Structure formats: structure tokens, C-alpha cells
Amino acid sequence: MLRRLFIRDYVIVDKLELEFAAGFGVLTGETGAGKSILVDALSLVLGERAEGAVVRVGCERAEIAAEFDAPADSPLSAWLRANDFEAEDSLLVRRLVDAGGRSRAYLNGMPATAGQLREAAAFLADIHGQHAHLSLLKAEAQRRLVDARAGQLETAKVVAASFHEWRALRTAREAASRDAEAALREREMTEFQVRELETLSFDAARWAEENAEHRRLAHAVSLIEGVEGALALLDESEAAAGSLLDQSASRLSHLVEHDAALAEPVELLEGARIQLSEAVHALARYRERLDVDPGRLAELEARIEAVMAAARKHRVAPEELAETLERLRSRLEELRLSADPEALAQREAAALEAYRALAKKLSAARKRAAAELSQAVAASMQQLAMAGGRFEVALETLAEPAASGMESIEFMVAANAGQPLRPLAKVASGGELSRIGLAIQVIASSAGEAPTLIFDEVDVGIGGGVAEIVGRLLKELGSERQVLCVTHLPQVAAQADWQWSIAKEMHDGATLSRVTPLDAPARIDEIARMLGGVRITDTTREHAREMLGL
């Protein structure tokens, strides 16, 4: 569960540090006070796209850090270890965003990518935004929700990959039949290019050595002259540096007994004599190995020209020639296979069979999950003032295989008794859509694994007794998970185990957002404000006290 949240210089928050409790908690306050900013900050720290606009005006960067529980035996800890992050009893997720939009992320102090944050988020929190019910109108969202309910999201990805593999083979077979002559010409050309590069025998490591040897031989005369000149100055001439250094050291060493302060210079000169001697020996050995070899130089120049010509021909850097050869070999294998329609057809048939086996497994899991979801959502609809309403996840077998599987998925709804089932996208009432969407989100969350569930004004469009029922549903969910809800409804807020009030205030000419944890008397005043508006009467407070007593 979420333990702590730290926010600095984010939108209208200067500095905020919050400690969260278990159970069902609500964030309340006037419209525009910044309630959803906390949810947005959590979304950002869990991998949402970063933009420079989130940095508070006049500041260099925004910082958000969230601490979550991470038990040693949890899937989260296993994921952290598998991805080389420190696995401790808790996980600290930190995100920095500068005013230019660049961001950095850390997991337990170690650098992480936004993609890794999103992967970790699956083990941490499930966030439902203000308009989440609208996304449920899309077929893709409906299919993903059913797959999540069935625990088959990874299987769905494998099915899609298998489908694309089969389609690629089918396209290749059709192209082979249609363009046999063109394929033959391409195969002959590719065979020639492969033989040409194989004859070249290019090796990146040897290429570097050949270039170094060429540079050495091309400048052999200059190198020899330079080394011989240096040896003469250091050791071989009458006024060589080695001889002068020896004389200086000898003279000073006799004077040390008269002044001990000369000991250090003498010691340094002795070290210089040793280093000079080593340098002379190294230059002498180098000179012995160095030779002018016009034949080898010509051989290397021809080799380098051949490599450069091949690189120009294939429009790559010389270092990429080995990779080019492998790519041509792979293409040649494809072309040879395409010349054998029977073998290509066999591979296509095998790929289709593999796809169908995977898709069949996915279909069975979807069928079970669809039945469970249909029953659970229909039951919730009866509580949400839609007595007699029905909900059904319709699965219809497709005539042709698809990347999404062998069936279409559509949510069908009858909001009232006696009405026919219609697609959710065609439900006329916005209030009905809000209630159905909320029921689906609560049920989907209860089936998930995230320990923290966050609902950002998902109760919009409802009120009265329905709002009280929604509060009870969230409270029940809070007995199993940590539930955070941003709400404007007193009926929902009154059901919470704990409550925070969010408000704006002016400080040094800047508008800032402040969070205040509410004790029992303060909760009465806040619920009364939500009930009665600007003027709060004793009657309103009594009503709030009664609601909290429920």
C-alpha cells in the first residue's frame, strides 16, 4: 500500500509531505482546490508522461516521491530483483521533472526508465480517472478489461504476435507466387553480393589493426627519424640529456653531507635518471621493430581500398559490413524459401495452427471471465438505482482470425427492466453510463492485484441514495485494499475511514494548495460544507453528524 507521498514545486504545490493510512480515505474540497493534483502527481511518479508545464511557476524543477510497501515475498520484490533493483521492505519511487520537460526517475535510489516505472506501477496502484467510464465505450478498452479479469493480458499479447507472424508468412507466400521472376532476379543479385562480401572476409577487429598498421607504415620514415633524433638527444650524443643528468646528480650527491636540504632534489634526479633510462630502452626496442616495408604498405592500401569500395557500394560505414553480410544472408534464405512454395505453405499452415491453439486458450478464458463480469456488474446495477437492469459481455466469433483473437467483445446493457440489451456505447443517459462505468471499475479493481486503488471523481453524475450506495461499495473495497477517492459527494465522503480537506490559499502573492487531515469535529464541518454550501447552519451540521454516525 501507499505509505508516504512527497511533492515539491508541482503545479500549485510548493512542498507537501503526506502519510497515508489503510482502508478507505477521501480527499474533499472546493472545485479547483487541487484535489486531482495529488492524483496527477501519483500518476506522474508511476510513469505517466512528463511535461515541463507541471513545474510550479518560477521554479527549476518538480519532485515527486512515493513510498510503497514491498514485502519480501511479494511479486513486486520479485520484479525488482529480476530487474536489478534493490529489493527492500519498502519501495521508494522518485521522479524529477525540469522546466524543459526532461525527467529522471529512480527506484530505491537507482536510475529507472519511465517504462520501468509503468511496469512497477502494475504492482503498486490502479488509478481510475474522472472520465474512465468514457474509455469503456471503446472496444479495445472493453477487450482489455475482460482479458485483465481473466488474467490473460500476456496471453493476448502472445496471440497478437502469433497472428502477425502468420500474416507475414501468408504475405510472403502470396508474394512468392505473384512475383516469382522478380524474386529470382533478386536472389541472384543477393547471392552475388553475399559471395563478394564473404570473399572480402571483413572483420571489425582486424580492420582496426590493419588501419593502425597502415598508419604506422605510411609514416615509417617520419617515425624512424623522430625516434633516432630523440635517442641522440637523450643518450647517444656528447651533450645527451642522460649524460648531463648523471653529472648533475653526481655533483649534488657529494654536497648532501654539507646540507641535508639537497637530499630531496638528489632523490628526484635519481628517479629522473631511472625513468630516462627506461624511456631510452623502450625507444630502442621500438626502433628495432620499426621498418620501411613498401610491399606490405601496398598490400594494406589495396585492402583498405577494397573495404572502402564495398562500404560505398552498400552505403554503410566500413564497421557495418559484417552486419550487412548477415542481413544479406538472412534475405537470401528468405528468397530461397520463397522459391519453394510448398515449404512456404507448410510454414504458413504451421503458424496458423499455432495461432489457433493460443487463441482457443484465450477464448476459453474470456468466456469464463465474461460470465463472471456479466453477473457481477448486473448485481451492482440493482444497487445503483437500476432495478431490473441487465449487463452482458457479448462474445461473437469472427469469420476471420484477428490479432485480438477469434472473437469480438462488446458490453451490452439494458438499464431498465423490459428494455432490450444494447451496446454500452449507445446508452442514452449520461447518469446511467456513469453508474454502469463505476460498477465496472469497482468490480474490475476488486479482481486486480494492485494493493492501492485510486478513484478521481468517478462518482460524477450520481447523487442521493445512489451516492450513499457508491460510498458503501468503496468502503467494502477498502476493507480489502487501500482505497483513495477524490469526491464532491458528502454521501461518499461520510463512508470513509479517514478524510483530508484540500484548499487553496495565497502566500506571498502565489496561489498554493494545502492539505489538512480532518479529525472528527473537522469532518463534521467539512461534510456540512459539502451538504449546505457557503452558509453552514446547525441543522446542516446535525445532518452531517448523522451521516458520519451511519
Hey, how many other C-beta atoms are within 10 angstroms of the C-beta on 98? Answer: 15
Question: Per-residue pLDDT tens for 366-376?
Answer: 999 999 999 98
Question: Per-residue pLDDT tens for 525-538?
Answer: 999 988 876 678 88
Output the pLDDT for position 155.
94
Could you give phi then psi for residue 315, rounded to 5 degrees? 55, 50
Helix, strand, or coil (residue 133): helix
Read off the C-alpha cell for 430: 449520461
Which of 94, 112, 95, 13 is closest to 51 using CA atoms?
A: 95
With contact defined as beta carbons under 8 Å apart, do 210 and 304 qualify?
Answer: yes
Output the pLDDT for position 290.
65
Hey, how many other C-beta atoms are within 10 angstroms of the C-beta on 508? Answer: 6
Output the pLDDT for position 496.
93
Question: Per-residue pLDDT tens for 92-122?
Answer: 999 999 998 899 999 999 999 988 998 898 8
End-to-end CA distance of the chain: 27
Output the pLDDT for position 220.
66
422-423 and 405-414 as β-strands: parallel, antiparallel, unpaired?
antiparallel
Output the pLDDT for position 339.
64
How is the chain split into domains, by residue range?
A: 1-124+496-517
Read off the C-alpha cell for 520: 472528527
Cβ within 8 Å of residue 318, ≥6 positions away: 202, 207, 307, 308, 310, 311
Question: Per-residue pLDDT tens for 311-369?
Answer: 898 898 888 888 999 999 988 887 776 666 777 888 899 999 999 999 999 999 999 99
10 Å CB burial of residue 127 (0-12, 13-18, 19+) is buried
Crossing angle for the helix pair 464-478 and 341-383, to the nearest 10 degrees: 120
State the Cα angle at 113 between 110 and 115, rounded to 5°. 135
Identity of the residue numbered 298: A
With contact defined as beta carbons under 8 Å apart, do 6 and 479 qualify?
Answer: no
DSSP lists the bridge partners of residue 483 as 24, 453
In angstroms, rounded to a whole number, what is the distance separating the alpha carbons of residues 229 and 503? Answer: 82
Crossing angle for the helix pair 341-383 and 321-338, to the nearest 10 degrees: 100
DSSP 151: T
Name the H helices within 292-406: 294-314, 321-338, 341-383
Q: Which residues of 243-270 are buried (b: 16+ CB within 10 A; e: fewer)?
A: eebeeebeeeeeeeeeeeeeeeebeebe
DSSP string, 485-536: EE-S-HHHHTT-SEEEEEEEEEETTEEEEEEEE--HHHHHHHHHHHHH-SSP
With contact defined as beta carbons under 8 Å apart, do 430 and 461 qualify?
Answer: yes
Cβ within 8 Å of residue 206, ≥6 positions away: none
| Max CA pair span of the chain | 120
DSSP lists the bridge partners of residue 409 as 395
State the Cα angle at 381 between 379 and 386, rounded to 5°. 130
- How many residues does this entry show for the chain? 550
Output the pLDDT for position 36.
80
Output the pLDDT for position 292.
64
Read off the C-alpha cell for 354: 499455432
Task: Choose the CATH number for 1-124+496-517 among 3.40.1410.10, 3.40.50.1360, 3.20.20.70, 3.40.50.300.
Answer: 3.40.50.300
Helix, strand, or coil (residue 105): strand
Strand order in the sheet with 390-402: 390-402, 405-414, 422-423
Cβ within 8 Å of residue 479, ≥6 positions away: 23, 24
Which residue ranges of the chain lie beneath pLDDT 70?
A: 33, 130-135, 177-181, 183, 218-221, 223-225, 228, 236-239, 289-293, 337-340, 428-431, 446-448, 458-459, 461, 533-534, 550
